[in-house]
A and B are shown apart, each in its own frame.
Chain A
Amino acid sequence: MTSSSRDVAPKGQTRAALLFLLPAFVLIAVFVAYPIVYAGWLSFFRWDGASAPTFVGLDNFLRLATDAIFWKSLGRNILIAATAIVLQVFLALLIAYCLVRIVPFVSRLFLFFYLVPVMVSEICIGLLWRFLYNPYFGLVNASLKALGLGWLQRGWLGDSATAFPAVVVVMSFTYLGLYVLLFVAAVRNVPESLYETAEIDGAGHFTRFFSITVPMVWDAVRANTLLAIIGSLKTFSLVFVLTNGGPNQASEVVSTYLYKAGFSSFEMGYAATIGFAQIVLTAAGAFVIFRYLKRARGGNER
């Protein structure tokens, strides 16, 4: 930074900036960055967490490459992300449009209700949904019976065919509100005049939604999609409390698998490998999606 770029004392400002950033830098370096580097280092060792670690070279990575449970778990994280884009991001945009453009008189109240599950701990939410899914007296089964679909009744979380979809349903109910909030703010920022013109042209809500709202809030769509993907890869507590990855690892995700490897089987080196591989894949995935959305946007308007 040369003094030509600023009128006043940029050198003093740079030093001040560094000082202001220092506490954040120290905390993030010690508790976020260093652990990730350390995870990379630990992935070359076999270690039970107590005795001395044994260097095993690339054994952990080779094991990971052929570990069907890891890849299936990762696949479920990606599936969660895909459903989140539809059941959370897209649905939230649709709800936000309705709240802002069609029923604005209830938008504040409804937004409040949508945000309630966002505020409550996932542990509480998971415990409550265990009642809804209960095989003996759960409301899900009771509703099916009432609708004459009694043959569909089952122990949703205990059945390996339905455990994972059941968890995904809880997730979409739980996190939806955050995206409704973000989209309500974005949809409100769309200039009224655009809708007025469309209205005069006789465009219905369907047309207005897809030809005005969606392109106008595309930045928010992109940001929220990224947010949903990142959130889906982070997911832990809801799965932990609903199924703990079971039955028979039918709803295992990367986080629960890592947790079990590290703190039930005490394979710390392998748990670190799972985490380290996940971070690399997360980064790559986010990058690709981000680029793709950027290009998709450049394609339909400029």
Chain B
Amino acid sequence: MRMRASTLPASGPVRRVTPTTIIVLAVLTAHVLMVIFPFVWVAYSTLKTNKEFMRSVWALPTSFSLDAYVGAWSGGALGTYAMNSLWIMAGATVLTVIVATLAGYALAVYRPRWMAGVELSLMAAMAIPAYVALVPLVVLLRNAGLLDTHLGVILPTAAFNIPVSIFIMRAFFVTLPRELFDAARLDGTGEFGIFRHIAMPIAWPAMFTVAVVNMIWVWNDFLFPVVFINSPARKTLPVGLTDFVGEHITNYPVMLAAILIAAIAPLVLFVFFERQITSALLGGAVKE
């Protein structure tokens, strides 16, 4: 990686194209192609027929057929799984956003001495692997009659996503000038009034940001749904997908279409809300 000879002092922000630039560009392009290849491959393979797929697994399709998608959608319960995922995603996301907004606001605006302890506990909670709580959660949910229900997945999922979401919200609320709150206090506005009428109205974009990342996390989550849900009719998409793949082991394009259907929702969210998602990941992780 020693390439000093090729770099001349650039004039201003415009950089000259040097051999280094070209080499680095080539290497990074090759690497990026490797990273996204599986996703490109799955997309074009679903256009093949099974016969064509078996003839040449990695070649581009010669025909254009959407039969695999029809087969995937009608050959199993993907629609049901998707609806289940949607409900759990909606429930856990709404709960997380509300709870994290309140707590993130408190963390940013109020600084009593014990707040440092709260922050530390939240960071500790972020480090805890969810599987550690698996057996006790099964007992807890069974006793509460919530095992094998969507609510039984929503509550622990939200609880595990709340700490990081709080830090994302806090990162937003600390950017608000303190004078905003102090002025309102002098006017005699109560603490909840300040939150409701001053902080909340400008917090929507941050709340939306937290919502989008949580939607992706919950949609993709596997551990809690696979353990807490048994009824096929209540399974989520990633869990149902593993069943589906086992049942369609002989028809590869159909199997791949099912995988793509499961992967598409987060990718669509990412395409549309790239800025919010990246800022959320930065806001939540930059915390040390």
**Are these two chains actual partners, yes or no?**
yes
* Chain A hits for B107, CB < 8 A: 21
- Report whether B159 and A31 are in contact in the complex, using a CB–CB cutoff of 8 Å: yes
Among A204, A223, A240, the residue within 8 A (CB) of B4 is A204
Q: Which residue of A lies closest to B101 (CB)?
A: A20
- Report whether A204 and B7 are in contact in the complex, using a CB–CB cutoff of 8 Å: yes
B interface size (C-beta, 8 A)? 101
* Chain A hits for B285, CB < 8 A: 178, 182, 223-224, 227
Alpha-carbon distance A124/B219, docked complex (angstroms): 12
* Chain A hits for B195, CB < 8 A: 16, 20
* Chain A hits for B266, CB < 8 A: 119-121
- Report whether A17 and B128 are in contact in the complex, using a CB–CB cutoff of 8 Å: no
Contacts A21-B118, A119-B216, A181-B282; A230 near B131 (Cβ below 8 A): no
* Chain B hits for A282, CB < 8 A: 127-129
- Report whether B127 and A230 are in contact in the complex, using a CB–CB cutoff of 8 Å: yes
Contacts A173-B34, A237-B223; A275 near B191 (Cβ below 8 A): no
Closest CB of chain A to B5's CB: distance in Å? Answer: 7
- Report whether A139 and B222 are in contact in the complex, using a CB–CB cutoff of 8 Å: no
Among B4, B28, B35, B118, the residue within 8 A (CB) of A116 is B35
- Report whether A113 and B259 are in contact in the complex, using a CB–CB cutoff of 8 Å: no
- Report whether A137 and B160 are in contact in the complex, using a CB–CB cutoff of 8 Å: no
- Report whether A36 and B128 are in contact in the complex, using a CB–CB cutoff of 8 Å: yes
Contacts A14-B112, A98-B24; A39 near B136 (Cβ below 8 A): yes
A-side interface size class: 35 or more
Contacts A31-B137, A34-B140, A181-B282; A120 near B128 (Cβ below 8 A): no
Alpha-carbon distance A87/B238, docked complex (angstroms): 27
- Report whether A199 and B259 are in contact in the complex, using a CB–CB cutoff of 8 Å: no
Among B242, B260, B278, the residue within 8 A (CB) of A115 is B278
B100-158 residues at the A interface, CB under 8 angstroms: 100, 102-103, 105-107, 109-110, 112-113, 115, 118, 122, 124-140, 155-156, 158
- Report whether A259 and B5 are in contact in the complex, using a CB–CB cutoff of 8 Å: no
Alpha-carbon distance A276/B133, docked complex (angstroms): 9
- Report whether A38 and B98 are in contact in the complex, using a CB–CB cutoff of 8 Å: no
Interface of B is mostly: helix
- Report whether B42 and A128 are in contact in the complex, using a CB–CB cutoff of 8 Å: yes
- Report whether A181 and B39 are in contact in the complex, using a CB–CB cutoff of 8 Å: no
* Chain A hits for B137, CB < 8 A: 31, 35
* Chain A hits for B127, CB < 8 A: 230, 282-283, 286
* Chain B hits for A275, CB < 8 A: 131-135
- Report whether A8 and B38 are in contact in the complex, using a CB–CB cutoff of 8 Å: no
Closest CB of chain B to A208's CB: distance in Å? Answer: 9
- Report whether B110 and A36 are in contact in the complex, using a CB–CB cutoff of 8 Å: no
Q: Is the CB of A71 closer than 8 A to any CB of chain B?
A: no
Among A98, A103, A129, A176, the residue within 8 A (CB) of B38 is A129
- Report whether B131 and A17 are in contact in the complex, using a CB–CB cutoff of 8 Å: no
Alpha-carbon distance A124/B236, docked complex (angstroms): 13
- Report whether B32 and A110 are in contact in the complex, using a CB–CB cutoff of 8 Å: yes
Closest CB of chain B to A204's CB: distance in Å? Answer: 2
* Chain A hits for B204, CB < 8 A: none
Alpha-carbon distance A215/B223, docked complex (angstroms): 38
Alpha-carbon distance A241/B20, docked complex (angstroms): 40
Alpha-carbon distance A241/B99, docked complex (angstroms): 32
Alpha-carbon distance A233/B131, docked complex (angstroms): 10
Contacts A36-B128, A95-B28, A205-B7; A123 near B241 (Cβ below 8 A): yes
Q: Is the CB of B281 closer than 8 A to any CB of chain A?
A: yes
Q: Is the CB of B84 closer than 8 A to any CB of chain A?
A: no
Which of A22-30, A147-155, A159-167 touches B? A22-30
Contacts A28-B162, A102-B24, A203-B4; A278 near B129 (Cβ below 8 A): yes
Contacts A13-B110, A28-B159, A129-B38; A205 near B128 (Cβ below 8 A): no
Contacts A17-B115, A124-B241, A237-B222; A137 near B134 (Cβ below 8 A): no
* Chain A hits for B229, CB < 8 A: none
- Report whether B134 and A271 are in contact in the complex, using a CB–CB cutoff of 8 Å: yes
Interface string of B228-242 (1 = CB under 8 A from A): 000000000110011
* Chain B hits for A131, CB < 8 A: 38, 41, 57
Given contacts A38-B136, A230-B126, A236-B131, 13 further A-B contacts (CB under 8 A): A17-B109, A27-B99, A32-B133, A32-B159, A36-B133, A103-B28, A115-B277, A119-B267, A123-B262, A202-B4, A205-B1, A205-B7, A268-B139
Q: What are the 4 closest A-B residue pairs judged by CB atoms, nearest first? A: A204-B4, A16-B191, A31-B159, A35-B133
